[in-house]
Chain A
C-alpha cells in the first residue's frame, strides 16, 4: 500500500517539476528567438504588409500621405511602362533560369571528380561570384564598349559583330542576362555538386555492369535523382530573377534601364518611380504586385516540398 502511495506521490512530484522545467524551456526558447524574430518582423514582415497599405496612398512632396483608394492600381493598369517592365522582367527570367540551369549543371558535371585539378577549376568557376555586382557590371561594360571593348572586337573579328551590346535594344537585355549567368553559374555549380554528391555510387556501378553508357547513366540516374536539387535551383533562380536580386545592381550600373526601356525590369522601374520621382504610393502598388507574384511562387514551392523541409529530417 505504502509503496503504491509513494510511487504515486513521486510521480506527481516528478510531473510537477517536469512541468515547471518545461515552462522554463518555453521562456528560454522565446527569449532566444526574440531578437531575430523581432528584427525580421520589423524589417521584413512589416515592410511586406506596409507595401500593400502604401499602395492605396499618394505621397506628396512634403511627405504627407493621402488616401487614394485604387488609383495607383488603375494608373498601373494604364501605364505602358509598367507593362513594358513586366514583359522585360518575364523575358529576363525566361532567359536566365534555363541558361543558369544548364551552365550550373554542366559545370558541376565537368568538375565533379574530386581531385586537386578539379578543386582548382571549381574555385576558378566560382571566383566571379565573390566580386560585387557593381564591379561585375563595370568590368563587363568596359569589355563590351562599342567597337573598342575586347569582346566587341572579338565578335567583330569573328564577323558576328557590328551590333552594340548595350546600345541596341535588341541585345541589351541579352547582355544583362549573360552577365548575370557569368556571375551566378559558379554558385549554382556548387549547389549541383552538393546534389551530385548525394547520389549513391552503387547506382552508377550497377548501371555500368548492365552496360549503360555515360549518356544513359546521366539520363536515367543523374537527372532523376537530382530532382530535388533541380527543383531548388529553378525556384531560387526564378524568384531571384523576378525580384531582380542581381539584375538591379547590374542594370543600375550598365544601362539604368535603357536603351528605350529595353532593360527596364520592374524593380528598376519601381526604384525610379520611388526614389527618382517620389511616387512612393505608386511604387508600392507595383511592388505589392511583385510581392504577390513571389508569394504565389513560394507557396507552390512550399506545397511541393512539404514546407521547405525537403528530405532533411526524413
Chain B
C-alpha cells in the first residue's frame, strides 16, 4: 500500500498529489476522532450559559466549574483512592507476573505446558461474566467494602503473564547460564538477572496496568458501597446522577478524571502503543 517508490501507475506529481490528499484526509479523520475529547475540555472551561453554544474555544473561559467540582464533591479523596488501588495492583501484579512468566518460559517442570494453557485459557474470560460468583467469593472472604476487596482480585490476569512469558522466551539463555555457573540459585537469577533485564517491558506493563485500574468501573461499583472507598470512576458516575443537568460541571469532572491518563499517554505514548501492538500475535 505504500507509495515509496515511483509506480508504473502514477507519475511523480500524481504521487505527491495523492499523498497530500491522503494526509489531509488522515488529519481530518484524526481531528474528528479527537473532537469529543476537545469538546469535553472546552465545555469544562465554559460558564453554564455557554454549555450548548457551538464554539470550540470558550468565549469567556473560567475555572469555576473545576473549583465547584473539587469543593462540592470529595473528588480529591476519590482520586487518592484510585491512585492507591491502581498503584498497589500494578506493583504486586508486576511482581507475581514476572515470577510466573519467568518460570513458564525458562524453568522446566512437569505440567508446565498444561499450566500455561490453563492460564492462557482464562485470557478471554472477562470480568462481567464472572461478576456474580466473584462477588459471592469476595464477600465470603470478608473483603466487601475494603481496599483488599478492591485490590486483590484485580491483581490476577493472564494478559500480563502471557506477555512476560513471550518476552522471556526471546531473551538469550546465555546470561542466565553464566549466572548459574557462578552458583546462583533460581531466586537469585530471577532477582538480579531477570528482573533488571525486564525493565523495558515492565515499565510498559506498569503503565498499562495502572491505566486499566484507574479506568476500571464495574468491579469497584460491585464491591464498594461506602463512599469513603469510592474510586474516581464511581465518583463521577454518581456525580452524574446528582447533577444530571449541569453538563458544565460534569465535563469539568470528566476532564479531571481523564487528564491524568491523557498526560500519561502523551508522555509514554511510544511504550504504551508498542506494547499493545505486540499484544496481538507476536
Chain A interfacial positions (CB closer than 8 Å to B): 22, 24-26, 28-30, 32-33, 35-37, 39-40, 42-48, 50-51, 54, 107, 109-113, 117-118, 120-128, 130-136, 138-140, 142-143, 145, 148-150, 153, 182, 186-187, 190-191, 193-195, 197-198, 204, 208, 211, 213-214, 217-218, 222, 228-229, 232-233, 235-236, 239-240, 243-245, 248-249, 252-253, 267, 270-271, 274-275, 280, 283-284, 287, 290-291, 294, 297-298, 301-302, 307-308, 310-313
Contacts and interface: CB of A to CB of B under 8 A. Distances in A.
B218 A249 contact: yes
Given A28-B103, A124-B33, A308 B117 contact: yes
Given A142-B247, A232-B281, A298-B121, 6 more contacts: A37-B119, A40-B122, A45-B122, A54-B132, A130-B211, A308-B117
A135 B257 contact: yes
A249 B130 contact: no
Interface string B249-273: 0110010011001101110010011
Nearest to A51: B133
A280 B131 CA distance: 11
B65 interface: no
A248 B109 contact: no
A204 B2 contact: yes
A187 to B, nearest CB: 7
Contacts of B97: 36
Contact of B112 (A29, A214, A284): A29
Contacts of A51: 129-130, 132-133
Contacts of A153: 54
B72 interface: no
A150 B39 CA distance: 9
A270 B132 contact: yes
Contacts of B40: 135, 139, 142
Interface string B46-84: 000000101000000000000000000000000000000
19 contacts: A25-B186, A28-B187, A33-B103, A39-B152, A124-B30, A127-B34, A132-B216, A138-B240, A139-B254, A142-B39, A142-B247, A145-B247, A190-B273, A214-B9, A243-B129, A252-B217, A283-B132, A287-B129, A298-B124
Interface string B1-27: 111110111000000000000110111
B156 A39 contact: yes
Contacts of A130: 211, 258, 261-262, 264-265, 272
Contacts of A136: 36
B213 to A, nearest CB: 10
B219 to A, nearest CB: 11
B9 A213 contact: yes
A142 B201 CA distance: 38
Given A29-B112, A124-B33, A135 B254 contact: yes
Which of A134, A270, A274 has the most C-beta atoms of chain B within 10 angstroms of its own C-beta? A134
Given A28-B103, A193-B277, A243-B128, A142 B250 contact: yes
Given A35-B99, A310-B281, A312-B166, A291 B129 contact: yes
A250 to B, nearest CB: 10
B237 interface: yes
Contacts of B161: 36
A243 B5 CA distance: 46
- The contact size tier of chain B is 35 or more
B7 A208 contact: yes
3 A-B pairs with the lowest CB-CB distances in the bound complex, closest first: A29-B109, A32-B103, A132-B215
A294 B130 CA distance: 12
A15 B218 CA distance: 54
A187 B208 CA distance: 13
A134 B236 contact: yes
B202 interface: no
A228 B281 CA distance: 8
Which of B121, B128, B190, B262 has the most C-beta atoms of chain A within 10 angstroms of its own C-beta? B128
B91 interface: no
A273 to B, nearest CB: 9
Which of B190, B221, B222, B266 has the most C-beta atoms of chain A within 10 angstroms of its own C-beta? B221
Nearest to B233: A134
Interface string B161-201: 10000100100000000000000011100100000000000
Contacts of B247: 142, 145
A138 B236 contact: yes
Nearest to A247: B128
Contacts of B282: 194, 198, 312
